[in-house]
Amino acid sequence: MRTTRRTLLAATLLAPAVARAQAPWVPTRSIRFVVPFPAGGATDVVARVLAERLQETLGQPVVVENRAGAGGNIGVENVVRSPADGHTILMGTTGTLTVNPHLYANLGFDPLRDLAPVSMAFTTDHVLIVNPQVPARTAEEFLALVRARPGALSYGSAGSGSSTHTVPELFRLAARVDIQHVPYRGSAPALNDLVAGNVQVMLDQIPSAIGQIRGGQVRALAVTGARRSGLLPDVPTVAEIGLPDAQATSWGAVMAPAGTPAPAILRYSSAIREALAQQAVKDRLAAAGADGVASSPEDLAAYLRAESAKWARVVREARITVN
């Protein structure tokens, strides 16, 4: 009887502590949501859509702060150096989290070590497009052409180290073909030169190229995602044309400074999942060319490690450097 009473007494004393431990984290002031790119792009649009929903759910203002520069490194470092109290989060991307650490020798921080995963946020696939004058109407014909004429064709990109550079290099390695790289200052001028015929090929993000594809100014041959795109249902995936190793997706993920309390991480992850399940949010992201994708912090951590290993190999084998 004495043991039972002691057990009950202990349980009674512990109950308030357990309740406190299980209570959801609540922010006490406004939240900074850092986007490491200028306003207006897909990454910024998704962050602003999520910020509205997070503000409603968490009961505090969520302010999107654009800190662009150095391929996104300036914004990421700002979050890395911020207090890990749950009031600063980052919209990280493929490049800033898993490519840049292998491109910049003196980065000064490690995103996988110095940031805590919260949740995936969105994905966008790339599409292999060619100028209509290129004598290839299918991806198979294109591969035959570039293999017969090594080094004769060139592809445009948004600049060295951008996704429109790394994704084509992954494609080139998987297909074992020689296509010359021509870097531009952004995707728009590269796409303009593709339409003009000054470069013949591009692996652009689908949202960026869909207008030119539908207008017949460029020809779409393959998409890089795991499934065909709803925007281009008749265009095969790279796996369907025999290049499964060329599969690649650009993505965004919400991160926080390392050391952010676990209850805050879980609260954000849950709120993001709830937001991305709403049809109104899905529609707004689709209008920006993005697919909303949520995840647990643990699944995101595993995905980041796999993506980092993949892009490290591409940077190394393709000998990608930044100016």
CA dihedral 236, 302, 81, 321 (to 10 degrees): -50
Looking at residue 19, what is its pLDDT? 42
Asked if the model's pLDDT at residue 110 lies above 90, the reply is yes
Per-residue confidence at 18, pLDDT binned at 50, 70, 90?
very low
Residue with more model confidence, 20 or 296: 296
* Same fold yes or no, 31-123+249-317 and 125-246: yes
Looking at residue 13, what is its pLDDT? 55
SS3 of 98, please?
Answer: helix
Per-residue confidence at 301, pLDDT binned at 50, 70, 90?
very high
Distance of CA 115 to the CA centre of its chain: 15
As given in the structure block, the two tokens for residue 316 are 């190394």
Looking at residue 78, what is its pLDDT? 98
Q: Which of 88-92, 136-140, 184-188, 294-298 has the lowest mean pLDDT?
A: 184-188
Per-residue confidence at 142, pLDDT binned at 50, 70, 90?
very high
Mean of the per-residue pLDDT values of the chain: 91
Q: Dump pLDDT digits (tens) for 21-65.
A: 557 889 999 999 999 988 888 889 999 999 999 999 999 999 999
Per-residue confidence at 74, pLDDT binned at 50, 70, 90?
very high
Looking at residue 160, what is its pLDDT? 85
Q: Give yes or no for a contact between 79 and 71, defined as CB atoms under 8 angstroms apart.
A: no
Question: What angle (nearest 5°) sits at the alpha carbon of residue 258, between those of residues 253 and 263?
Answer: 80
pTM of structure: 0.83
Asked if the model's pLDDT at residue 8 lies above 70, the reply is no
What is the distance between the alpha carbons of residues 128 and 143, in angstroms, rounded to a whole number? 11
Q: In CATH, what class is 125-246?
A: alpha beta
Dihedral sign of CA atoms 217, 220, 221, 224 in order: positive
Asked if the model's pLDDT at residue 178 lies above 60, the reply is yes
Looking at residue 20, what is its pLDDT? 47
Q: Dump pLDDT digits (tens) for 199-227.
A: 999 999 898 899 999 999 999 999 999 99
Give the burial string for 250-261 (b: 16+ CB within 10 Å, else e).
bbbbbbbbbebe
Asked if the model's pLDDT at residue 284 lies above 80, the reply is yes
Domains of the chain by residue range: 31-123+249-317, 125-246
Q: Dump pLDDT digits (tens) for 227-282.
A: 999 889 999 999 999 999 999 999 999 999 999 999 999 999 999 999 999 999 99
Four-way CATH pick for 31-123+249-317: 3.90.1010.10, 3.30.1180.20, 3.40.190.150, 3.40.190.10: 3.40.190.150
Q: Which of 9-18, 119-128, 278-287, 310-319 has the lowest mean pLDDT?
A: 9-18
